[in-house]
Chain A
Amino acid sequence: MNPTVFMSIIEPILLMVFLGFLVLFVYFGITFVHHWNFYSFNVQSKRIMQGLYFFGSIVILLTLLFFIGLYIVGYGI
C-alpha cells in the first residue's frame, strides 16, 4: 500500500479514537463524581479516588495524544 494512502486512512482513525476516549473520560468522570458525592462516603477516600482517576486518565490521554502526534508527524523514537 502506498504510504500516503495508508496515512490518510489511519490519521483520522487515530484522531477519532482519541476523541472517543476524551468523550469517555468526560462521561465516566461525571458518573464517578456524581456517584461518589451522592453516597457522601468518607471525604478523604473520595478525594483520593477522584484525584487518582482524573490524574491517571489525564496522564494516559496526554501520553496517547503525544504518541498519536508523533506517529502522524512521522518521527521515530
Chain B
Amino acid sequence: MAFKLEQGESIVVMARRHWFKVVVQTLSLFFSLLIPLIATSVLTAIPNPSQEFGNLTILSIICILAWFFIVWNLAFIVWTNHFLDVLVITNKQIIDIEQVGLWNRDISTLQLSKVQDISSKTEGLIASILNYGDLEIQSAGSLTNFIVTEVQRPDLLRQKINEQIMHS
C-alpha cells in the first residue's frame, strides 16, 4: 500500500471520488470513437484512380484501429486514476492519496488531533441526487487545509471523522 498504519491503528472508512465522473469520462471516450468516421469519409472521398494510393478502405480501417487503441488505453488510464485516488480515514489520521497522471502521486496525512473544523459541500442537481461533493478539513496552526473534491457521501465522511475525533 501507499501508506503504513501505526500499531493499534485501523481503517475506519475508505472513500473514492464518485463514479459519476468516471462514467462521464468513459462516455466521452466512447463517443470519441465516432471521430474516425470523419477520417473514413475524407479518405473515401479522395479520388483514387487505378489504386494510386493503395486500397483506401484498408487505410481507413487502419486509422480506425489506431484510434481504437488510443481510446482503449485512455479508458484504462481514466479508470486507474479513479482507482488510485483514495481518502482513508483511520482511528488516528486522515490520509489523502491523489494520483496525478500515471506516475505522480501526492499523499497527505492529517492527524485527527489537529483537525479543527470539517465541512462538507454538495452543489448542484446531479451532485445532490447522486450524493457527492467536497469535503474540507481545516487543521490547527499554519497547516494547509485538506480539500477532497467530488468524494462519495461527504456528509457521512464528515460524521465518521467527527465520531473518530470524539473517540480519540
Contacts and interface: CB of A to CB of B under 8 A. Distances in A.
Q: In the complex, which range does the number of interface residues on chain A fall in?
A: 35 or more
Contacts of A10: 53-54
B58 A6 contact: no
Given A6-B54, A61-B69, 6 more contacts: A10-B54, A31-B102, A35-B83, A38-B2, A71-B58, A74-B55
B66 A41 contact: no
Interface string A21-58: 10011001001100110111100000001000100110
Contacts, number: 82
A6 B50 CA distance: 13
Nearest to A69: B58
Contacts of A68: 62
Q: From DSSP, what is the main secondary structure of chain A's interface residues? A: helix
Contacts of A32: 76, 80
Contacts of A19: none
Most buried by A among B58, B79, B83, B102: B58
A72 B113 CA distance: 68
A40 B83 CA distance: 11
A60 B51 contact: no
Given A31-B102, A39-B2, A76-B55, A60 B83 contact: no
B103 A60 contact: no
Given A32-B80, A39-B1, A57 B102 contact: no
Contacts of A3: 50-54
